[in-house]
Amino acid sequence: MRILSGIQPTGKMHIGNLLGAGNQYVDYQNKGDLFLMVADLHALTVLQNPKTFAEETLNKALELLAIGVDPAKCTLFVQSHVKEHSELAWILNTITPLGELERMTQYKDKSKKHRENINAGLLDYPVLMAADILLYKTDVVPVGQDQTQHLELTRTLAKKFNSLYGQTFSEPKTMLVKEGAKIMSLLEPKKKMSKSDNPDSYIAITDDAETIKRKIAKAVTDTGKDVKFDPAKKPGISNLLTIHSLFSNQKIPALEKRYKGKGYAPFKKALATLLVEKLEPFHRKYEELKRREVYVKTILSQGKERARTIAASNLEEIKEKVGLLPE
C-alpha cells in the first residue's frame, strides 16, 4: 500500500494538524510505504518572505520528526526538491475543467482573505495537490477534513486521465480520523483551527506550558456553564471536550459526567495540564533536533533521492501515454 500526505511549511504545527493528520502519518508509516512531504510550492500561493521561507520549510521537517515521523520507516522530503511534481501538475492542468477549480471552498476562502493577491496558483492549488498524489500512484491519503474536496478532484482527474490515455492511476482513498478531523479554533470555534490565524487561536505543538495555560484559559466557551457536548449550541466547549477526549483517551460522556455542575474553570485547567503533559515529549525531541540540522538535512536529501526515483519513472510512463516525444 502506498500512502502520501503533505503539510505546508508556514506557521507552526498545531494540535489540529496533529489530531487530524499527524497522528495518522505516524500510524501509517507502520502499515505501508508512506511518502510525506513539506508542501513548500503550495505555500507559495500566499506571498512568503524569501529570507525566512527555507528555514520554515526545514522547521516543518523538524516538527514532523518531533511528533514521531521516523525516516527509517517512511520517505520524508520537500516537494520542490522533486521537480516532477510541477511537471505533472502542468499535464493535469490540461485535463482539469476550470469550473471544478472555481468551486473549491479553499480557493473561495483564500481569495476572500488575500484579495490583494488572487493569483493563478491559488486557483491551481488542487491540481498541484493531485499531481503530488498521482505521481506516486498513491492508494491512501491521510488528511484532515478540509482537504476532502481536493481529494475528490484528485479522483476525478485520475479517472479522466485513465479514460483518455489508458489505465494509469488507481483512485486514491481519503483517510480521515473518526474524531478530530476538524479541530476548531480556540477563539472562533465555528472556524477550523489554522496555523495562518491568530496564534492565540491554536495550541502549537511547540508551545510552552505557560502559553498553553494562557491560551486554554482564554479559549472562547459558550453561554451557560455546563461542560456538555453540543457542537451546534456549544461549539467552544464541545471543541475542548473533543481535544481532551483525544489526548486523554477518555470518552466524552465520561468527561461530561466528571465535570457536571462544576462550571468551565476546573475542566479548562485539567485540559491545560493534560496538553502540557502530552506535548512535552515533542518539545524535547524538537529541541534536540534543532541542534542537529545537518542530520535533518541528510534525511531530506535521502528522502528526495528515493522520491525522485519513483517520480521520474512514473512521469516517464505518463508522458509517453500522453504522447509526448521521448527524449
Tell me the C-alpha distance between 179 and 121, whole Å. 32
Residue number with CB closer to ligand ADP (19 or 318): 19
Under rule CB under 6 A, residue 146 binds ligand ADP: yes
195 an active-site residue? yes
* 3-state secondary structure at position 142: strand
Under rule CB under 6 A, residue 319 binds ligand ADP: no
Tell me the C-alpha distance between 60 and 312, whole Å. 25
Q: Which residue in 143, 153, 276, 318 binds ligand ADP (CB under 6 A)?
A: 143
Residue 121 CB-density burial (10 A; 0-12 exposed, 13-18 middle, 19+ buried): middle
Binding mask 49-88 for ligand ADP (x = CB under 6 A): ----------------------------------------
Under rule CB under 6 A, residue 219 binds ligand ADP: no
**293-322 and 53-66 helices, crossing angle to 10°:** 100
Q: Which of 73, 160, 191, 195 is catalytic?
A: 195
Binding partner of residue 133 among ligand ADP, ligand TRP, none, CB under 5 to 8 Å per kind? ligand TRP
Under rule CB under 6 A, residue 8 binds ligand TRP: yes
Binding partner of residue 195 among ligand ADP, ligand TRP, none, CB under 5 to 8 Å per kind? ligand ADP
Binding mask 172-201 for ligand ADP (x = CB under 6 A): ---------xxx--------xxxxx-----
319 an active-site residue? no
Q: Which of 60, 182, 192, 304 is catalytic?
A: 192
Q: Which H helix or E strand runs over 32?
A: none
Q: Which residue in 65, 143, 227, 255 binds ligand TRP (CB under 6 A)?
A: 143
Residue 187 one-letter amino acid: L
Closest by CA position to 137, among listed 3, 320, 300: 3
Long-range contact pairs involving 244-252 (C-beta distance under 8 Å, separation at least 24): 244/270, 244/271, 244/274, 245/179, 246/19, 246/179, 246/180, 247/274, 247/275, 247/278, 248/274
- Cα dist. 203→206, 248, 284 in Å? 8, 16, 17
Residues known to be catalytic: 110, 192, 195
Binding site for ligand ADP (CB under 6 A): 7-8, 11, 16-17, 19-21, 143-144, 146-147, 181-183, 192-196
